[in-house]
Structure 1
């Protein structure tokens, strides 16, 4: 098992060669370089309609009538004009081997709703059949820089969504807007689908992530393992098993204190089924926090030892000491606490 995990880690380490997503926060749009990564092409997109939404709820449809959004009453507290941009890229690198079988639709501005909205996308069944894809397992995917988790910050890249297939249409629910598309997998065993991966910042510290949670689905019902790949920036990474939260699809793992280096933290979630089929989030390699967060505050203020006493602030909070006081803990307190046992 250790040999297999090492081979898996090596493959993903050398795959870490693509830029992470750069989000233009002032315009609520992805940059040109980010679109190249997301779409797999230089498709500039074309205007495809839009509409005005307010607290009373509304229905918004793209001009090609293949993309529809139903916003229920009470999902918003304000009036917003949404714009739809359509991308016809057929090379979008959707995760888990899914092939794009719809256009990609971007909704601006990015937005978080109080209630779930319903998204419907028409798929190209003829394309799926011509490529011998498994149309019955088609799924929706999205990219969003707006977080649906109350305290969690979203990892970048395409993520799956729980999807219903109705004839040629996929239907799913979401609380956030950015970019949506549909994909269809090849026949045979499928790798796990990571519906979302989030990192959480430790209260009482200067923007230090201390925990990872991931929503992971195994589409074939196969047994699988979910791992957190983590380590200090510029240093080695290691694999830690993520524990399932009850009978849900959520898995979690704490970040070891030793990974919280002044230069940042390398993070990735990998899911592997019993057949060796694997999926990663981000799919392009490890995420470097805070540099890849896109948040100027985190980038400029991140500090794992705010009072300069040589003790990690998360460890100090966890053990009841004051991370703002160099005299807490008192001299002679043992540290570091030791690296947890990895797989």
Structure 2
């Protein structure tokens, strides 16, 4: 977390020093997950669903525009905690359309495309008919297949959000700081393989080859044992994991499936207990909110690089 805090601190200083220039011409139309979204002006009242959406706006200095949050994956990191302290929580889980509309948003920004359902925040067409724009984090698109995620693609998403809100200078500053920090990572050269274990007990849900897990593992110099599967996350089998016998296991720390629970399962399951990574406790830990595509990926990669460098492979 120290590297992440340093990264965000530098970005905050850059944002404070940067010029406030109006750069966006409205009306602005953006194709988002196959849906054309038109903004007559910069959004002023935003509902964010999922931590990735909330933290994107906080990182761009747009916290005052957030009128409600829902389905947050964990606490906001300390550098943004003050800005997030007064955010109104609409629902601990996915808020309904009725709850969302009560705060009169002009934009609903979702971290998952599935957030926009009739039994959720509302279908995108339904919201549009009511004059409410919607935006899905591009790597989370499902109605169209997103490109394999890269840090350059992630930086392009930050730039797009800067354009939407007419804060391109802030977005440019954030991108510059993230690029500089990303370049500080020295990929591991030991030829190590890794498993990204997100959740699941009987059937493990793991990081595959095309989204944030693959992107971060590549930055670390790790070979993803599920990297040949063209998907973000997949349901795998413990037998396939045992056959691959990864050198390192990345554990996603989530409130509903914490690291301690994962370690206990791996150590007690006869199928996995003899894995080299389990026997020697070669684990890296990443918070759930930093495991999906967003502004925390760079900081999380730096933190995991330090964890990886500290691991011993002496027998």
> What TM-score does the superposition give when structure 1 sets the normalisation length?
0.28
Q: Using CA pairs under 8 Å that are at least 6 residues apart, name the structure with larger relative contact order, 1 or 2.
A: 2
Q: Which has the higher strand share?
A: 1
Q: Which has the higher helix share?
A: 2
> What TM-score does the superposition give when structure 2 sets the normalisation length?
0.30
